[in-house]
Structure 1
């Protein structure tokens, strides 16, 4: 054995040299690995606070080691963002106390150039003293600014996308995972179905929303060989496995109400192509179906106007063949009715206009539009070209199946050639309106525009104008209402999350240049990381056509097509308004019932066209014989009624006497002769506590009395109590006078 302190022999020296070489090589490789990962390393003396770092540690924050010397734990504390230091110290203390296996902290550090960078700092204690107290600790940190910024950008993007989804509350958006569990339920879905997101997300399958009997009928043919039925989710997503699939369904709200919806289901795939789930978008089409139902019933009710219309009218099959045409259309095109029924509209359409016409027909059949208008050329029988202004709508059955087209054709050949400039202007306007899409605006709570899409920029600043981003919303947009179009709304109220100003207005108008455009405005609120509302998203939609269709539907339902007077439905609505007004104000009002005398012989002897001509003439006499504020209605057949607001019985009798004389002297030329009729009129007071039926019965009884007393006279009900009528000053000479035109 060698003595202590004796130099090593040759073998030992060689072994020591090899060990030293291995250690040096391992250290070199470790340094290469650290340098390759661009990591900053550090060692910390837990007792003295001294730190030793590599050059990369200093480079991450923009310094050299010499610039930071002397490097201690205070160097780290000085560079860390104040908001992150407490958390970093807490994590360090947790590790030093042995409550965590290592120290791991994400924090911001100030770069030498003044900006903040994100650093992921990790380390652990590797040496303890005899009492178990930490002596030395080592670790590394890395610049993760790009990763952290990407995370924040992704979170911000998700927030904005969620806000846009929630802002479109006319569309219900429901997303699920691949097992059918709901993970997104927007405000449109809440509005449509009546559930809150908390009641749905993570808890239910979307099959809950379907009407059970309808879905059972749908699933029954899909049973497998053992009779097992697929689930609702399985059946619907099978159709959408390769792309979007749409279908009409009945949805059941939380309160049990049924709504008809058009549901489109699309698959959701990750960037790698892996199926993540499905998204369904449902649009409530219940109001549209109701309007179509009303239009269908109205078309059936007023079919008599078809043959007598001054415009050319035709019923056209889905294949384009004429099913029926009126005389006016035959005159426009020069064909007989029999000739037109043997051909289709494609044959008579100018070749240059046929493609556009068929494209619009395709849109109708596909449900992309409810009607269309165009000017097109027809080939007349004599080889002439006829310019027609064509209006086409599609008639559907109550359940939505297409039946046939209704076409109206106005001969505008003369106007076409004399007004080319006007038509071009109208065409440009129409194209511009057709190109308008929803406007989307993002604003902060002070009203500054942070984002505006192309449609919003075009509407608020004009085509080709500079972006409106950064502008104050009050400076570029003005909203009013249909009832007060000259009184702008305070847009600051719409920036208040607690305000229901939008909900109170279904008649908003947007001032676009010199125009006021009917719009709907929906809002969604942006929230910051602290959960506080920081801004809002507005979606503004042009609803010009929707409100026009509503007005048109009301017009069709309440106007008699032959006389253009109110029909019975419209009359009853006006009568109820008159009764309510009398109850509220105490003002007098009278109801006049008119029945034509000797009208039936006209129909029997001369035909219904002669009867229609006489009804039109009588309607004209009645319309011009009363005030503009009075309501004249045709109740059916040869029965008419007049609602006289603010009019006593005596004054109503005077008006009736004048009408009686006007109708008596009315003469309508027909063929070689002239048509005449008489009239019997009954008048009753409208009471503030009467029902519509009671008021009608009272006036009808007086009209019946006039008929019984020889026709062609006026009968007025006896007053409920004696005394002069306060509205009849100057009418005392009528007291005791018999009714005009007959016995009293």
Structure 2
């Protein structure tokens, strides 16, 4: 039989456990009145011990949950159940509710009569909030997945995803269409498979190690690798392939992503454009050059009247202007298609400038513009003579076109050690364009600004000249002041 001391010690132990328990605990009468409550339950309900002992469980139960709680307590008191557990909303002192996991047991005496009700309440509000956040996060993830899948399938580019060992994880509708052309016998799903995939010049099929999929699966980043797919050359499709490695949060490579864009129409159009440029070069520029040569011979013929010479001069000026426009068109077309435009060799820049000045005399004489040259005997540089002559012709044409009647255009060439300085200065009207932004424009085929429409070579000619100079590693700057004139400064490496 337990001693009185044992019972007292047991009671003290129970009270100590109850007081320091992190779980809310309370002792209630069989009528549901709080007899005592521990600190955890008081904090959970926002009550102190004195206030809570004046309440019943009805007062701290949400009205919507009260009926179920009363029913469960009644069943316990009449002996139908020994205890029960439920999740219910508990009311705090400020009227707010906290979700609690409530466990209730009935303490009886030796005769089985109800003595007290013992209740434990676990605060679920934190867990409930976490579950709500998790649910919201899962919903957001699902919505993001749906949107990403919609974009993945809708884009016109083929998209392919490999895992870390080169197995295909996902590919979209457009990529499946391309795969059907490249691998008519079926795609095995792994990087490196060969098929009807050809080099950029279509001269041979790609080997396994050359396949974009092999390079991508190996973690190599690349972009705009051009391949052709398909059996018949006439029906092949050109693809621009770009790949990037996929990394996890630690930076480790876990796969690769590949994008394939069909550029067949662009490639075909470029080929047509190059054919057109070649035709223009042969069919238009060649006879124009011959016509200009014969015009010079005719002008030098004796016995011509002043009127005839004047007419021949006009024909020659316009023929030269047409030849410059054709040269501009050919250069711009080749530059925009990526065709190399500079074939470098050792040339005499002073001789080139003298030739350009002689050719510009035709237009200068028509406007009574005086050309002045300050040139050394020779100025050797390394560059493409034809292209540099084209650039200088455009600079002089701009200067002559900008000049008013009876003004001066000066061309000078100076050796600056590691580079050569070329300047073309005119005393014309100039424009309000101190840094040359209007004169240079933004592209080789950009329409001219209204302010410069009266100068036929202003925008295009200077843009092409800049493109040529920069292709030679040089720099070009324009300064123009309204009513003062325009200065073009060029620096070229020796």
- TM-score tier by shorter-chain length is 0.3 to 0.5
Structure with the greater alpha carbon radius of gyration: 2
